[in-house]
Amino acid sequence: MTIAEHLVMVTLMLLRRYPEYAEIIRRHEWKNNLPLRSIKDSRVTIVGTGDIGTRYAERIQSFQPAAIVGVSRTGRKRSPVYDEAVKQEELEAYLPKTDILVLCLPGTKETTNMISRERLAMLPDDAFVINVGRGNSIDQAALVEALNTGHLAGAALDVMAKEPIPEGDPLWTAKNIILTPHCSGKMTLAYTRDKSVAMFCEDLEHFVKQAPLEHAVKRELGY
């Protein structure tokens, strides 16, 4: 729940031009006429349709997006909240039609650099990129370049290729970016702690009874 709410927060911040307004205020200026955008009628592509991606999709559905497309390894439609569910191999066909690209991927060999320079170039010039999965799923240098040249409208990253971000890294000063220090899923929310304990206790009971585990990690897949 906590990461899904973080995703909603940064989605709205990007659409309502928060990075630019924050810079305007930092300069002690008063300018309030930047054109805003909305989740309504936006085309949202969520790469990684596990618990995080699906909880986010459920929350933004009430904002009436034009479409919510879920992209996963299997292409299975995990929830009716997705208008379409496709395999990762089909991602490139959807990038040119994406307004908001959200990444909720695990860190595996298959997901490394999944959003490459070439795939970033396929996005529309006014698209946004949000990542709460793993920092190695995006070509970070290409993302910075796309932001600074105006190819992308903005980005929000809670995960980076190197953490902490090295001093002098161009990511710090990229245009229209929201950076958070890998904090979206920390155990600071009471609900998250309680849910984690409940899931552990549930599977501990299953383990004792030699029943199938509900929340087991599939080591061969890496998540």
Question: DSSP characters for 141-173?
Answer: HHHHHHHHTTSSSEEEESS-SSSSPPTT-GGGG
The values of phi and psi at residue 31, to 5°, are -135, 125
Check pLDDT > 90 for residue 158. yes
**Of 6, 17, 55, 134, catalytic:** 134
Question: Quick one: DSSP state of residue 126?
Answer: T
pTM listed for this prediction: 0.94
Contact 63, 38 (CB under 8 A): yes
Tell me whether strands 100-103 and 43-47 are parallel, antiparallel or unpaired: parallel
Residue-wise pLDDT tens digits, 72-128: 999 999 999 999 999 999 999 999 999 999 999 999 999 999 999 999 999 999 999
219 is catalytic: no
**Of 55, 182, 193, 219, catalytic:** 182
Q: For residue 6, name the pLDDT band (cuts at 50, 70, 90).
A: very high
151 is catalytic: no
Q: How far is CA 33 from the centre of its chain?
A: 28
Nearest to 142 by CA among 172, 110, 117: 117
